[in-house]
Structure 1
Amino acid sequence: MQYSAFISYSHKDEKSARWLMRKLEAYRVPAKIIGQPSEFGIVPRRIGKIFRDRDELPTAGNLSRTVNRALQNSAALIVVCSPASAKSKWVNSEIAEFRKMGREDRILCFIVSGNPLSTDPDTACFPPALLKPDVSGEPEHEPLAADARADGDGKDRAFLKLVAGLLGVGFDSLAQRDAQRRNKRLALISVGSFTGMAFATALAITAVIARNDAQRRQDQAEDIVGFMLGDLRERLQTVGRLDLMRSVDDKATSYFSKLNKRDLSDRALAEQARSLTGIGEVRLNEGDYQLAMAAFREAYERSKALYERDTSNAKRLFDLSQAEYWLGNVAWQQGRLDDAETWLSHYRDSAIRLAAMDTSNLDWQIEAAYGYQNLAILDKSRGKFEKAEIAMGEVRDLYITWSEQNPKDLNLRYEAANAASWLGSLAMQQGNLRQAKIYFLEQHAAIKKNLEDDPDNTIWREDYLYANILLANVKIQLGETQSANRLFLEATNIAEALYLQDPENAYWMLDYGRCLWYLALITPSNAEKHLKQAENLIGKAFSLKQREGRTLHFYGDLKIAQSEYALLNNQLDLATNYMQQFEQSIVPAWQDLDMEKTEDFRLVYSRGLILKGKLASFASQPDTAQSLWKQALGVLMEDESDNLPFIRLYELTKVLNLLGEEQQRKVHQQRLDESGFIAFNAFSFD
């Protein structure tokens, strides 16, 4: 066999799977049992190579050739058991495939969480294929399992049980030999330690003197770094100077890299965590998810270490909560919504503990509101609109109360406006367009007042840009086109100024490109020019943030608009070329199993299928067109009952019309009409 074992696991248990693979491959078999006969042959010196990484599995549900071949060439199958793996269809498929090969006696289980005796889907840890009997009606299989949970065998004992199963030797014999080897090793270490102690004592006296001097110099350096990462960074962020912030980050990183972490004081460790958080924010704005995630994870580890040193320290709990938030934020932007929910739930729980430490501290109460607000927005992304609306309404009421108590606090006014904005988006996605307009007007007025009170604040200018776009969008759907156009023109001017202020800010280039895209729709005479400018900006932002939902949404819409405009001008080849660009970028993201699909992304993908069908129709390929429209219909109807999300209805009526399903189209058109919805499509062929 090429591999001693194949580790099957859910991506949520990747950390445990990695640990297990490294531990198995590094394990040295005790000398006294090497070469002895076992159930599976002669006991080797090493366990051998383990297969863990696997190719991305296809959507059809079959195992890829690489994984199938690895299973065939693996002497055993190790299943990392948890509630996540019990629900994983890929883990279940790998077990079923291995059993088909007639080697079910070589399947070993390693329990990391859940309950092996439970039948509750939320706590059961054994995948169904493990338990399935060979013949229907017979009792379920009883898997051979090593229980790594704290209330089970424990991690080390469970590992040895797994090794015994792989080698085909008795556990007691292996455990005894392993303990003897450890005892010998400890004896050798003890002798070395006593020798080292004498030498270390002599050095300690000299080291204390040097350390006191170094501590004095370190304190001076920390004062400088504290200013760089505190007041200076805040001022640079307010004026939108990300270029100078990067320089500050580089200087701070250079300083910290020269420190020995073992010598860091609590203060130095806190400064380092703060620096890494700042670096992560800048890298995130630049679209570098990998560096951003690495910086936030390091900040989290330092913040966690500090908090564990003193769990009564509220400031340390606050820093820990911020690190948890940023880890959730990056996962969210990458489309890993399960990971995002995990970290954002940690953040909410930390914020609740923080608020409970001092109920008179308004900042900490607001932090708890942030925790609930983030999870409500995540529910919105997943199409759970009613649940999100209830939570966001409660958050808005809190902000309004706090803002009325502190009328000069611009941040509180902003938070109340932001909650109103999210309620507006939720109302739109449920078809309550007139209510959405009320919420967006509330947001627009509040942010405008902030900008009037603090006109040089870049943050308020950026928020006013979004307020204009959101209000314009709902007005378009209500047929108030002229008013919407004025709002978009004002938004474009703001977006252009922000982009020119920092051309490397991926969000600002995306916003400016989006505004230019809309200008192409409302000014047909300059459509080609505006679309080209939008392509340059959105294309660059897309290259930086390819996995972010908003970027995918805007990039996909742009390619559709370009294709529609080319088709409107009888440029079929150019229209087809733009659709090919759409397919190369948007389709792989839609088919990515690790990326959860938001409602906005679903709409973009379905629009692409509808337009591709129209192109096929123009090319006299009616069968292809019908097939694509049916596929679009399936995407729009997926995972839902009769009460489809409102935002799907317009695309749904279009595709039903193309398919000639007039009866069904009228049902959904009625909901659109009742909401006051009016379609706006400058490049439409309907």
Structure 2
Amino acid sequence: MNQAPHAEAFHYRAFISYSHHDKAWAEWLHRGLEAYRVPSRLVGRQTAAGQVPRRLAPVFRDRDELASSADLGGKVNQALQRAANLIVICSPASARSRWVNEEVRTFRRLGRDGRIFCLIVAGEPHAGEPSQECLPAALGEPAPDDERPGASDVEPLAADVRPGKDGKHDARLKLIAGLLDVEYDQLRRRELQRRNRRLTAIAALALLVTLVTGLLAIDATLARRAAERRQKQAEDLIGFMLGDLNDKLAQVQRLDVMEAVDDKAIAYFRALPSTDVTDDALEQRVKALEKIGSVRLDQGRLAPAMRAFQAAMPLARRLAQAAPHDRARQIAYARIQAFAGMAEWYRGRLDAAERFFGAAQATLEHMGAPAHDDPEVLFELSSLDNDIGHVLEARGRLDAAAVHYRRMLARCRTLTGLGSPKAEWLEHLGEAHNNLGKLALMHGDLLSAIREYAADDAIETRLNDAHPDDNDQRENTARVRAILGRTLLLAGAEEQADRALTNALATVEALHRFDPSQSHFKEKVGLYSTQLGRLRRLQGQPAAAGTLLTRAVVVLEGLTRQDPAHTGWRQDLAEARTERATLLQADGHAGAARADAQAAASALASLLGDQPDERGLLLSYARATLQFADLQPETVAGRLRRDVLQRLDDTHGATGDVRLLALRIETLLALGRAADTRPSVQQLWQAGYREPSLVRRLKAARIPYPPNPAFEQRLHSVLGEGAWAEAR
């Protein structure tokens, strides 16, 4: 084995080489290595690999595409040169991967054969069957400086996570021992000692909690006041666990411990009776359970979120009924009902969502008109207008949704007209503009839609500038900017759309790097990668588009595996596959394109069956089906296109939606009915619609579609306003 180079001379402690199919293992290993703290008694010891460090970071993990030649991309090549060790994640997929093999060869050319380690995750080493072989061929090739036939001096240390082998914990330790060049048994003993110390500390804390809670359960003859005081102490302890302790765990990204703490808290609350406790204690339980549920909701874990809300609801109801004029209690009860509605909304259960939202609204309305002057009540009512409007919109009842959206705008204007308005009030004002922009788009008023979205963007930008460290606000700003960018592209403002979408994606990428555990950050990375990938395709940049769309599919596939019931993630994934299918077809990969388009159309058909009037689903389904039709024999394609046309013509609500009209024209052209497109083409022209793909289709069909100078002038005026009235 070659002498180990000192790791201090390199920028990266290790380079992880893996196949795209093993990305989950690569992410697990990357987190595990960088989070590992070397036992203090080993730190500073001199080994053949250099001085033992306190941490193993940084570790390089990336999957840059290779160039068309066999050479690695510049970034990856540079990282290999700057890495002290190479870890190869071994599986049949990696054994077949040209990228993995080339990375191994490149690292070996640097003369570091002795610093290669393997993590076996699937397949068999030295298997007789090629489909089961897990070791990349480059590991068995002759050493770069040895020309003997078949000679190879690479005998890498291998850790094995396959069932019945090392297991994840021991496999990670075995790799760490190799990286540090220390004995595995020695490291394992040190780790066991440290783990025992931790378990002792945890056991002591658990004993303390057990003693505190145990004291509350014994000696029922003690005075009620003393029992209530001890009960409050226990509740305070749980409050600390869910408050300050959770916050500190979040700061160091120990979400695994945070979830364990939250789960223990839920078990604790469920074990306690809801009788014979103070109202203050009940209120604290409601707040704690609401927090647990909202965290789960943000993580995309809908079933656990719903369980937390259901546990809180009877307690909140009891408190609200006991004091019907206590506004704080009514608001708390309404918030729990609204959160439950959101959990049902995310699962696509419109009936259940509407019931919860309606119940929350009734809870607040029951307090009467005077209470509506309270800013907190007014804010909650505006939030429910937003929620109920979304349900009505999904049912195709656009006029009814508009009533709620306009009332939300009026209430938010009242709130922001008060002295020193809260940031969340301003944020809701922006969302009210956003809702009205969406309705304007559905009614074919493209200019009004852009104006409303721009007003929202101005508000979010102002809040973002005032609170640059608020990640939720940064996410809101990115969301609005992406919506504005997509709408600007419909109007042909390609340069402005590019800036908006690029900015939105960069923002959520930074948020995802800051906290990879947050599923909503990850979802936005996938969604905005799809949208920017589409723009890159339209701009004639297929390589950039392919990179973005492949990432989008990978990210969104991971999320849908995490929770298949999350309808939003399933729709996002289908849209990414549709767009990738379009790119693959253009590149001549009909088989892969057909698979993507078929999967997308099938998924969207299922979702549309549950929500037939949801406009976004209809648009996504039509695009996916038309793309799938383009890859079918003409008889099948014609049937699919006629089905799409029928669905578009049967759409409830506004029929002037420019997106629907554009899809209708595309469908008619594909069916050879160019003459039937004239009314829709004229309607789109008057609306100022200039989306590049449709303009090209019309040009190819020799259908006149000149610029609309009057609309372009009005659009220029809107975009030139700079600071919109609501944000001044």
How does the TM-score come out when normalised to structure 2?
0.61
Given residue 462 of structure 2, which amino acid in structure 1 is its aligned partner?
K
Distance 1:402 1:583, change over 3 A: closer
Deviation at 1:489, TM superposition (A): 1.2
1:390-429 → structure 2 map (5 Å cutoff): 390-429=403-442
Distance 1:383 1:573, change over 3 A: same
**Distance across 1 between alignment mates of 2:418 and 2:653:** 44
Deviation at 1:395, TM superposition (A): 2.1
Distance 1:322 1:278, change over 3 A: same
* Deviating more after overlay: 490-499 vs 390-399: 390-399
Given residue 659 of structure 1, which amino acid in structure 2 is its aligned partner?
L
> Do structure 1's residue 588 and structure 2's residue 598 form an aligned pair?
no
1:231-270 → structure 2 map (5 Å cutoff): 246=259, 248-270=261-283
- Are the aligned partners of 1:516 and 1:531 in contact in 2 as well (CA < 8 Å)? yes
Deviation at 1:369, TM superposition (A): 2.1
Equivalence for 1:675: 687
Distance 1:565 1:399, change over 3 A: same
1:96-495 → structure 2 map (5 Å cutoff): 207-209=220-222, 213-229=226-242, 246=259, 248-354=261-367, 356=369, 358-495=371-508
- Are the aligned partners of 1:222 and 1:268 in contact in 2 as well (CA < 8 Å)? yes
Distance 1:298 1:546, change over 3 A: same
**Distance across 2 between alignment mates of 1:514 and 1:214:** 53
Q: CA deviation digits over 1:82-139, x for unaligned, max 9?
A: xxxxxxxxxxxxxxxxxxxxxxxxxxxxxxxxxxxxxxxxxxxxxxxxxxxxxxxxxx
**Distance across 1 between alignment mates of 2:660 and 2:248:** 43
**Distance across 1 between alignment mates of 2:604 and 2:372:** 47
Distance 1:673 1:469, change over 3 A: same
**Distance across 2 between alignment mates of 1:266 and 1:373:** 31
Distance 1:546 1:674, change over 3 A: farther
Any stretches of 5+ residues in structure 2 without a counterpart? 1-216, 701-728
> Do structure 1's residue 577 and structure 2's residue 595 form an aligned pair?
yes
* Deviating more after overlay: 521-530 vs 647-656: 521-530
> Do structure 1's residue 612 and structure 2's residue 628 form an aligned pair?
yes
Given residue 580 of structure 2, which amino acid in structure 1 is its aligned partner?
Q
1:639-650 → structure 2 map (5 Å cutoff): 639-640=651-652, 643=655, 645-650=657-662
**Distance across 1 between alignment mates of 2:606 and 2:482:** 29
Equivalence for 1:666: 678
Q: How many residues align?
A: 477
Q: CA deviation digits over 1:343-391, x for unaligned, max 9?
A: 1111112122346463442111222222223222222222323332343
- Are the aligned partners of 2:397 and 2:653 in contact in 1 as well (CA < 8 Å)? no
Distance 1:670 1:205, change over 3 A: closer
Equivalence for 1:535: 553
Equivalence for 1:165: none
**Distance across 1 between alignment mates of 2:480 and 2:515:** 21
**Distance across 2 between alignment mates of 1:553 and 1:436:** 23
Q: 2:615 aligns with which of 589, 592, 599?
A: 599
Distance 1:656 1:647, change over 3 A: same
Q: CA deviation digits over 1:627-677, x for unaligned, max 9?
A: 111111122222548946443211111111111233432222222111111
Given residue 583 of structure 2, which amino acid in structure 1 is its aligned partner?
Y
Q: 1:637 aligns with which of 641, 649, 657?
A: 649
Given residue 334 of structure 1, which amino acid in structure 2 is its aligned partner?
R
Q: 1:551 aligns with which of 560, 569, 583?
A: 569
**Distance across 1 between alignment mates of 2:650 and 2:659:** 14
Deviation at 1:541, TM superposition (A): 2.1
Equivalence for 2:137: none
Distance 1:383 1:558, change over 3 A: same
Distance 1:292 1:251, change over 3 A: same
- Are the aligned partners of 1:547 and 1:589 in contact in 2 as well (CA < 8 Å)? no
Any stretches of 5+ residues in structure 1 without a counterpart? 1-203
Distance 1:560 1:269, change over 3 A: same
Distance 1:642 1:319, change over 3 A: closer
- Are the aligned partners of 1:549 and 1:601 in contact in 2 as well (CA < 8 Å)? no
**Distance across 2 between alignment mates of 1:311 and 1:401:** 25
* Deviating more after overlay: 547-556 vs 416-425: 547-556
Distance 1:394 1:585, change over 3 A: closer
Distance 1:258 1:299, change over 3 A: closer
**Distance across 2 between alignment mates of 1:299 and 1:379:** 27
- Are the aligned partners of 1:351 and 1:371 in contact in 2 as well (CA < 8 Å)? no
Deviation at 1:394, TM superposition (A): 3.0
**Distance across 1 between alignment mates of 2:368 and 2:560:** 39
Distance 1:418 1:234, change over 3 A: farther
> Do structure 1's residue 568 and structure 2's residue 581 form an aligned pair?
no
Deviation at 1:597, TM superposition (A): 4.5
Q: CA deviation digits over 1:486-539, x for unaligned, max 9?
A: 111111111101112222322211101122223323142322222211111111
- Are the aligned partners of 1:303 and 1:320 in contact in 2 as well (CA < 8 Å)? yes
Equivalence for 2:663: 651
1:53-68 → structure 2 map (5 Å cutoff): none
**Distance across 1 between alignment mates of 2:628 and 2:369:** 55
Given residue 627 of structure 2, which amino acid in structure 1 is its aligned partner?
L
Distance 1:584 1:237, change over 3 A: same
- Are the aligned partners of 1:563 and 1:579 in contact in 2 as well (CA < 8 Å)? yes
Distance 1:535 1:338, change over 3 A: same
Equivalence for 1:77: none
Deviation at 1:231, TM superposition (A): 6.7
Deviation at 1:254, TM superposition (A): 4.4
Find the residue that maps to 1:405 and give its secondary structure: coil
**Distance across 2 between alignment mates of 1:372 and 1:409:** 19
Given residue 316 of structure 1, which amino acid in structure 2 is its aligned partner?
R
**Distance across 1 between alignment mates of 2:368 and 2:420:** 22
Deviation at 1:238, TM superposition (A): 11
- Are the aligned partners of 1:286 and 1:506 in contact in 2 as well (CA < 8 Å)? yes
Find the residue that maps to 1:208 and give its secondary structure: coil
Deviation at 1:464, TM superposition (A): 0.7
Find the residue that maps to 2:222 and give its secondary structure: helix
Deviation at 1:428, TM superposition (A): 1.4
Given residue 662 of structure 1, which amino acid in structure 2 is its aligned partner?
A
RMSD: 3.0
Equivalence for 1:82: none
> Do structure 1's residue 625 and structure 2's residue 664 form an aligned pair?
no
Distance 1:433 1:225, change over 3 A: same
* Deviating more after overlay: 268-277 vs 212-221: 212-221
- Are the aligned partners of 1:428 and 1:436 in contact in 2 as well (CA < 8 Å)? yes
**Aligned sequence identity (%):** 24
Given residue 612 of structure 1, which amino acid in structure 2 is its aligned partner?
F
Deviation at 1:314, TM superposition (A): 2.3
**Distance across 2 between alignment mates of 1:683 and 1:514:** 24
**Distance across 1 between alignment mates of 2:581 and 2:323:** 59
Q: 2:521 aligns with which of 502, 508, 515?
A: 508
**Distance across 1 between alignment mates of 2:695 and 2:312:** 48
**Distance across 2 between alignment mates of 1:530 and 1:233:** 35
Q: CA deviation digits over 1:322-353, x for unaligned, max 9?
A: 11101211222222212211111111121223
* Deviating more after overlay: 371-380 vs 480-489: 371-380
Equivalence for 2:542: 524
- Are the aligned partners of 1:499 and 1:508 in contact in 2 as well (CA < 8 Å)? yes
Equivalence for 1:71: none
- Are the aligned partners of 2:228 and 2:278 in contact in 1 as well (CA < 8 Å)? no
